[in-house]
Chains A and B, each alone.
Chain A
Amino acid sequence: MFIHNFKYSLKVLFRNKSLIFWTFIFPILLGTFFHMAFKDIENNETFHAFDIAVVNSPYYENNTIFKKAINEASKESDNKLFNVKVVNKKDASKMLENKEITGYLEFSNSDVNIIINDNGIYETILKFFVDEVNSNKKIIENTVNEEISKGNLDYQMVISNVMEKLNETVEFKNISRSNLSYTMIEYYTLIAMAALYGGAISMYIINKNMPNMSSVGKRNSTAPIPKSTLLLSGLLASLVVQITGLILLFIYTIFILKIDYNSNIWLIALLAVVGSLAGLSLGCIIGTILKTNENAKSGILIAVTMFLSFLSGMMGITMKYVIDKNIPILNMINPAAMITDGFYALYYYGFESRYIFNILSLIVFSLIMLLISSISLRRQKYDSI
């Protein structure tokens, strides 16, 4: 029964013109639009070191790790990230107001604040730089505490272990890549959006299995098959359709638009596939739990997807930073944030823990959503159909 329903779900989805347009054709059209709009920018825009400021304070002076990292990143070399000026807070604010700097860092007892006025690629880099140093700092502190708790007081040994741990865990590289471009970010966003569109496909499948949503759903509900079997086989077909759409998008952007995804193409594809699964599961839960008509559900799905994308910084990275800073839990459960964060992490650091964490988070999110949808569908009885 599973294969039977899977096979026919594939046929139904591949032949549905509306779904195929939004899943296959729309992202390609949007990609073409990006290509036309950003072609010139792409040609002119290359990465250059940008200006930042650091507010001078005892906290900064005593923060050895950050101080060293900032010096290293502003040292004259091919990998130079930014030009830094250490000034007082008033001057830093004024410089930011006059757009002389991209942003400034202000250190407190336990934290580093990033103050920016805009949301662009350099603001993003600044944020990731701070995140990265914070992450390294944490590793050093944890490793030292670990060594001390083990009773290891050999200074050289502790240093050696810390360095080993740092090399194992962190690949602080590529951040100064010379081909950094707006266009690439737009293409990543496009892939993330296409991945989340999977929700529409899974919702179509859900609607075809609910007696209060469609006549086919009514007929399917009288069949001697558990709803979970129908749901899972249909969802698997949805995923296949979605992945096919993404493959076409990759083929089109690589071979027609000549987009260079660099060596990360397989990791991007993996993230896109897992992102599709999350999108599908999101459509599934909205389709299952909400008791309203098909059109209203579609509207809600689009609104939710757009809102989640907005929170994740798909329309400007500042929002993601604001959420990360003030309500971090929100982005930890937001699939759009997981996808974009995964892409950004991949873009700046390659295959490392942050990317893996996002992949795993998306899988966990998807499984939870699917489980709830399945339970909800199994238990549902209808007051009216």
Chain B
Amino acid sequence: MKKIIEVKNLSKSYKNLKAIDDLSFDVYEGEILGLLGPNGSGKSTTINSILNLLEFEKGTIKIFGKIMKPDAYDIKRDIGVIFQEVAVFEELTVYENIDYFCGLYVSDKLLRKSYVEDAINLVGLKEFTKFYPKQLSGGLLRRLNIACGIAHKPKLIFLDEPTVAVDPQSRNNILDGIKKLRDDGATIVYTTHYMEEVEMICDRIIILDKGKILAEGTTDELKSLAKLEEKITLEVKKISSKVVDEIKTFKTVDSVIQNGNNLVITYKKGKDNLGELTSFLHSKKVTYSKIFSERPTLNDVFLELTGKDLRD
């Protein structure tokens, strides 16, 4: 597959703090790469360094096979960026804002008009074209922010936490829009805190912390890294402590937690854990009203890899 971005040995410090530590990764054509990490993990710094907005100490960055430099205008022409902060002019209407930013890339007026209209339709702002940013809700503002970054139909798009503080309806609209951009051929680098978003839209994920890559792969590949394999929760009417202790001795069981009538059993590995458990309960004449099994989520993997300590 064609490499769109090649990052090699990238390092960047803020005074004594190492923000990115010898980072290397590639982004392939047509994929949505999720950059996942807690606050201060180096996600935004990585994007800003790739875009050459920040000076970095070490490393090389290639985009579309060419070295990225601040004046690499031929590369920049095919890049779209949506930053965390809403980057629009308060003094311009929705239409004018999109037209302004699109005009920095596309000089042909007719072509630009159609591009701007496409962007407005993509983010669903058709009814708000004459509104000023101050008149828009948080979700609409975020959508405007995205429209301004993608109106010129870039081949490579950076989205830095575009759904922060957005209501579920707007979030779905935004995520659908991102998938459509990928389906139209764009390559996307997507940073976020939201695991469900990553699971929903990303083809590949990089988990970053303290400027280093902790894990890299598809959602399933990352989930397979988790020590935890399965979690079974059951609601019982009555269960003796002897039976609970027996469950704890199962070969693949990691822990059993009893909380009133609820029993939560976690498994390290193993096949057909649910079948084995139900047969055992049946043999012990334990009746249960509910039983369900859960696979580990990306969130579990994320917390396992990055730890549960609070971040800034």
Q: Is the CB of B71 within 8 A of A226?
A: yes
Q: How far is the CA of A383 from the CA of B49 in the complex (A)?
A: 10
Q: Is the CB of B73 within 8 A of A15?
A: no
Q: Is the CB of B83 within 8 A of A15?
A: no
Q: Is the CB of A8 within 8 A of B74?
A: no
Q: Is the CB of A8 within 8 A of B100?
A: yes
| Interface window among B84-92, B267-275, B303-311 | B84-92
Q: How far is the CA of A226 from the CA of B69 in the complex (A)?
A: 12
Q: Is the CB of B74 within 8 A of A216?
A: no
Given A224-B104, A384-B14: A215 touches B70 (CB 8 Å cut-off): no
Q: Is the CB of A216 within 8 A of B88?
A: yes
> In the complex, what residues of A have CB within 8 A of residue B79's CB?
222
Q: Residue A354 at the B interface, CB < 8 A?
A: no
> In the complex, what residues of B have CB within 8 A of residue A222's CB?
51, 53, 76, 79, 81
Q: Is the CB of B73 within 8 A of A224?
A: yes
> Which B residues, 21 to 66, have Cβ-Cβ distances below 8 Å to chain A?
48, 51-55
Q: How far is the CB of A310 from chain B (nearest CB, A)?
A: 33
Q: Residue B124 at the A interface, CB < 8 A?
A: no
Given A223-B76, A224-B104: A11 touches B48 (CB 8 Å cut-off): no
> In the complex, what residues of A have CB within 8 A of residue B226's CB?
none
Q: Residue B211 at the A interface, CB < 8 A?
A: no
Q: Residue A119 at the B interface, CB < 8 A?
A: no
Q: Is the CB of A4 within 8 A of B104?
A: yes
Q: Is the CB of B54 within 8 A of A382?
A: yes
What residue in chain A is nearest B55 (Cβ atoms)? A381
Q: How far is the CB of B157 from chain A (nearest CB, A)?
A: 11
Q: How far is the CA of A3 from the CA of B78 in the complex (A)?
A: 22
Contact size range, A: 20 to 34
Q: Is the CB of B54 within 8 A of A384?
A: yes
Q: How far is the CA of A383 from the CA of B14 in the complex (A)?
A: 7
Q: Residue A221 at the B interface, CB < 8 A?
A: yes
Q: Residue A41 at the B interface, CB < 8 A?
A: no
> Which A residues, 278 to 299, have Cβ-Cβ distances below 8 Å to chain B?
none
What residue in chain B is nearest A221 (Cβ atoms)? B53
> In the complex, what residues of B have CB within 8 A of residue A214's CB?
87
What residue in chain B is nearest A220 (Cβ atoms)? B104
Q: Is the CB of B73 within 8 A of A11?
A: no
Q: How far is the CA of A219 from the CA of B88 in the complex (A)?
A: 9
> In the complex, what residues of B have CB within 8 A of residue A219's CB?
81, 83, 87, 101, 148-149
Q: How far is the CA of A215 from the CA of B53 in the complex (A)?
A: 12
Q: Residue A329 at the B interface, CB < 8 A?
A: no
Contact size range, B: 20 to 34
Q: Is the CB of B91 within 8 A of A16?
A: yes
Q: Which of A12, A384, A385 contacts B89 (CB under 8 A)?
A: A12
> Which A residues, 1 to 21, have Cβ-Cβ distances below 8 Å to chain B?
1, 4-5, 8, 11-13, 15-16
Given A12-B89, A218-B87, A383-B14: A223 touches B53 (CB 8 Å cut-off): no
Q: How far is the CB of B147 from chain A (nearest CB, A)?
A: 12
Q: Residue B96 at the A interface, CB < 8 A?
A: yes
Q: How far is the CB of B194 from chain A (nearest CB, A)?
A: 21
What residue in chain A is nearest B148 (Cβ atoms)? A219
Q: Which of A1, A12, A215, A220 contacts B107 (CB under 8 A)?
A: A1
Given A11-B91, A219-B81, A219-B148: A225 touches B48 (CB 8 Å cut-off): no
Majority secondary structure of chain B interface residues (helix, strand, loop or mixed): loop
Q: Is the CB of A11 within 8 A of B96?
A: yes
Q: How far is the CB of A117 from chain B (nearest CB, A)?
A: 51
Q: How far is the CB of A63 from chain B (nearest CB, A)?
A: 62
Most interface-central of A8, A12, A16, A385 (chain B CB within 10 A): A8
> In the complex, what residues of A have CB within 8 A of residue B48's CB?
385
Q: How far is the CB of B192 from chain A (nearest CB, A)?
A: 18
Q: Residue A211 at the B interface, CB < 8 A?
A: yes
Q: How far is the CB of A105 from chain B (nearest CB, A)?
A: 56
What residue in chain A is nearest B101 (Cβ atoms)? A219
> Which B residues, 190 to 237, have Cβ-Cβ distances below 8 Å to chain A?
none
Q: How far is the CB of A216 from chain B (nearest CB, A)?
A: 5
Q: How far is the CA of A224 from the CA of B54 in the complex (A)?
A: 17
Q: How far is the CB of A47 from chain B (nearest CB, A)?
A: 48
Most interface-central of A5, A13, A223, A382 (chain B CB within 10 A): A223
Q: Is the CB of A8 within 8 A of B76?
A: no
> In the complex, what residues of A have CB within 8 A of residue B149's CB?
219
Q: Residue B105 at the A interface, CB < 8 A?
A: yes
Q: How far is the CA of A223 from the CA of B80 in the complex (A)?
A: 9
Q: Is the CB of B87 within 8 A of A216?
A: yes
Q: Is the CB of A223 within 8 A of B104?
A: yes
Q: Is the CB of B92 within 8 A of A12?
A: yes
Q: How far is the CA of A108 from the CA of B87 in the complex (A)?
A: 65
Q: Is the CB of A225 within 8 A of B91?
A: no
Q: Residue B171 at the A interface, CB < 8 A?
A: no
Q: Is the CB of B53 within 8 A of A224?
A: no
> In the complex, what residues of A have CB within 8 A of residue B101's CB?
219, 223
Q: How far is the CA of A5 from the CA of B51 in the complex (A)?
A: 22
> In the complex, what residues of A have CB within 8 A of residue B83's CB?
215, 218-219
> In the complex, what residues of A have CB within 8 A of residue B77's CB?
224
Q: How far is the CB of B130 from chain A (nearest CB, A)?
A: 14
> In the complex, what residues of B have CB within 8 A of residue A5's CB?
103-104
Q: Is the CB of A224 within 8 A of B105?
A: yes
Q: How far is the CB of B45 from chain A (nearest CB, A)?
A: 9
Q: Is the CB of B76 within 8 A of A224?
A: yes
Which 8 pairs of residues, A with B, have the shortest CB-CB distance?
Answer: A215-B87, A224-B73, A15-B91, A223-B104, A215-B85, A224-B76, A381-B55, A219-B87
A-B contact pairs, 17 of them (CB 8 A): A8-B100, A8-B103, A11-B91, A11-B96, A12-B92, A15-B91, A16-B91, A218-B85, A219-B81, A219-B101, A222-B51, A223-B76, A223-B105, A224-B74, A381-B54, A384-B54, A385-B53
Starting from the known contacts A215-B85, A219-B81, 10 additional A-B residue pairs (CB-CB under 8 Å) come to A1-B104, A4-B103, A8-B96, A13-B91, A211-B53, A214-B87, A216-B89, A219-B87, A382-B54, A383-B55
The interface of chain B, by Cβ under 8 A from chain A, is 14, 48, 51-55, 70-71, 73-74, 76-77, 79, 81, 83, 85-89, 91-92, 96, 100-101, 103-105, 107, 148-149
